[in-house]
Amino acid sequence: MKKSLILSSFLVASLSQAFDFGSALSAGADLLQEKKTTPQTTPKSSPKTSLSNATVASGLKEALSNGVSYAIKTLSKNGGYLSSAVKIPLPDNLAKAESLIRKAGGGKIADDFIVSMNTAATKAAPKTAAIFADAVKKMSLDDAKKILAGGNEAATEYFKKTSNTSLKAAIKPIVQETMKSNNVTAYYDKVNAFYKNNVQGMVKSSGVMAMAKNYGADAYIPSASETNLDDYVTQKALDGLFTMIATKESQIRQNPVAQTTSLLKKVFGN
């Protein structure tokens, strides 16, 4: 009984410190204002008028192929997602309560779930190679020129627009299969159950809920997750690939060291 009371008091105190909704809303307003007033930077790279159309297209396609190869190779390694900047976190609602879940003794349950999601994504990543290759092959000269003249992640945005649907369709069955083999759903259910049994009551009884409603910020309150897990892991797996492709694309555009062939130097070099 004493242990339960101590844990309850600890979690209530943690909640009170964790949710400063006035500051959160103020910070959100500041961020929106900053986005409105921050000037757009001009991309460093621009198409060279002296180059032939064929050279421009070939150089851009080579850069894209390099980016895709880098992303897939990096994320397909053992622990590729888990140990990278694109690690897949808990779904949003559970992520809000992650620190509370861990303080209440649910750290291993949360870790097992996170590992299982990232392992599923890692196993699915190689299956996207053919779709990306097809998108590069089908790129028109006009597409290539626009991408080359665009920002540092213009090619990645092109992939998102032209291939996101087909990528999702291809990767989702693989994600579902690997999720089954890694018991992702079982871990998901465990985290949800742990939250409901050990944390949810503390959130509701701590006064944080009432405070949040007063600020109009009750959407920020943690809760059990109703996320469709297949869709969540599929999208996060793709987001990770796009991020890694964008990283390599930016390097090729800005860093001469990353321009590893004469064609890349000719198209992207200063």
Residue 11 within any structural domain of the chain: yes
| Distance of alpha carbon 183 from alpha carbon 223, whole angstroms | 22
Residue 42 within any structural domain of the chain: no
Residue 27 within any structural domain of the chain: no
Residue 29 within any structural domain of the chain: no
The model's pTM? 0.70
Cβ neighbours, 10 Å, residue 152: 18
Residue 168 within any structural domain of the chain: yes
118 CB-contact burial (10 Å; exposed 0-12 / middle 13-18 / buried 19+): buried
Q: Tell me the residue range of the domain where 10 lies.
A: 2-17+50-268
When mean pLDDT is compared across 22-26, 66-70, 253-257, the lowest value belongs to 22-26
Number of structural domains (the chain) is 1
Q: What does the pLDDT look like over 99-132, one tens digit per residue? A: 888 888 889 999 999 999 999 999 889 988 888 8
Residue 40 DSSP one-character state: P
Residue 183 within any structural domain of the chain: yes
Residue 222 within any structural domain of the chain: yes
Residue 105 DSSP one-character state: I
Q: What does the pLDDT look like over 181-217, one tens digit per residue? A: 878 888 888 887 887 787 666 555 555 445 444 434 3
Residue 156 within any structural domain of the chain: yes
